[in-house]
Each structure stands twice: as structure tokens, then as C-alpha cells.
Amino acid sequence: MVPAVSKAPAPTIRRATANDLPALQALLQLYYREGDVQHSDNEQSLVATLNQHPYGFFLAQSSSNEIAGCVLFRALDIPQAAECKRLFVLPQFRGHNLAARLMDTLEDTARAANLRWIYLDSKDIFQAAIAMYRRRGYIDTPRYNQNPEATLFLRKDLQPHEG
């Protein structure tokens, strides 16, 4: 008889709250280091972001309550648009579709807010993320911000025209 293999429950995706601030800051520090990101969010901007519904951070939380990943959904000064920033999954949780699930939540939230476009910028070193964005329908777009670290600008139409 083959013993039953216990599979840990998949991490849940949820909105970050003020109680998550220490864990979110620690996660973002890892993101900044891994991506050699020079412009980081300070505590004041993070707290403000947590209180801007429908915008804010979404977290992937493991069954052991560890924060496994995050993505930031941020307002943009472009009509019917918002921005995706800070998509990050801890190395030990990669390969389990968490980045895609975080993006699903961000995109679903944008659709529910009647937004049409999600914009994002990235750096060439994030090849796995860029490939995922392209698979999800993100296409090249002209520079839309002044981020000096970004080397790539993408957007996705959340209401594609049927033809």
C-alpha cells in the first residue's frame, strides 16, 4: 500500500492591512535586493497605500501564515488605468503559480473598479516575470512614467475588443 501524500494547502491571496506592515516591509527589502532596486517605498508611503481602496497591496499567505509574495495595485494619472508594481514571490514559493494568482487578483480588482488598462514597468533582469506578463497579454507601450530604473513598459487591455 502506498502511503497518502499530504499536500499543503495552496497559499491564499488577500488584501494587505496595516497589521501586515512589518512582514510587507521585510518582503519588499528582499525584492529591492534581488532586483537591485534603488527607489524603495518608505513606511509612510506603504501605510498610505494600504488605505487606498480599491488600490493597495495584495499578499500571498502560506498555510503556515508566512507572507510568500506580494503585488501592488496603484492608481495612475491615466484615464481608466492603474499600475502593477512590486510583484514578488519568495524563492522557496516560486514555481507554484503564485505570481499568476497575484496578477489574477490585481486584474480582477481592476475590472471590478471599471478600469480598462493595467500598466507596468520592469527591468530586463526580471525575465521570468516579463515572460509571464507577455503570456497574460501585456504588450509594449511607450514610457508612461519617470522611473529611471525601468527598461521596459507594458500595458494590458482588460476589456479586449471581440472581433
Q: What is the pLDDT of residue 51?
A: 86
**Which is the CATH superfamily of the domain at 12-116?**
Gcn5-related N-acetyltransferase (GNAT) (3.40.630.30)
Q: Tell me the mean pLDDT in the region 54-79.
A: 95
Q: What is the pLDDT of residue 3?
A: 52
Q: What is the pLDDT of residue 39?
A: 84
HEC letters along 9-70 = CCCEEEECCHHHHHHHHHHHHHHHHHCCCCCCCCHHHHHHHHCCCCCEEEEEECCCCCEEEE
> 110-122: per-residue pLDDT in tens?
999 999 999 999 9
Share of the chain above pLDDT 90, in %: 83
> 69-107: per-residue pLDDT in tens?
999 999 999 999 999 999 999 999 999 999 999 999 999
More confident position, 153 or 63:
153
Q: What is the pLDDT of residue 4?
A: 54
Amino acid type, 163: G
Residue entry with cell 495552496? 10
Cβ-based neighbour number of residue 32 at 10 Å: 16
pLDDT score of 5 more than 60: no
Q: Tell me the mean pLDDT in the region 127-149.
A: 96
> Does this model's pTM top 0.75?
yes
Q: What is the pLDDT of residue 80?
A: 96
pLDDT score of 2 more than 80: no
Can you give the C-alpha Rg of the chain in angstroms?
A: 16
**Which residues, including other chains, have CB under 8 Å from residue 81's CB and lie 6 or more apart?**
115, 116, 117, 118, 119, 155
What's the CA gap between 73 and 105, in Å, rounded?
10
pLDDT score of 6 more than 70: no
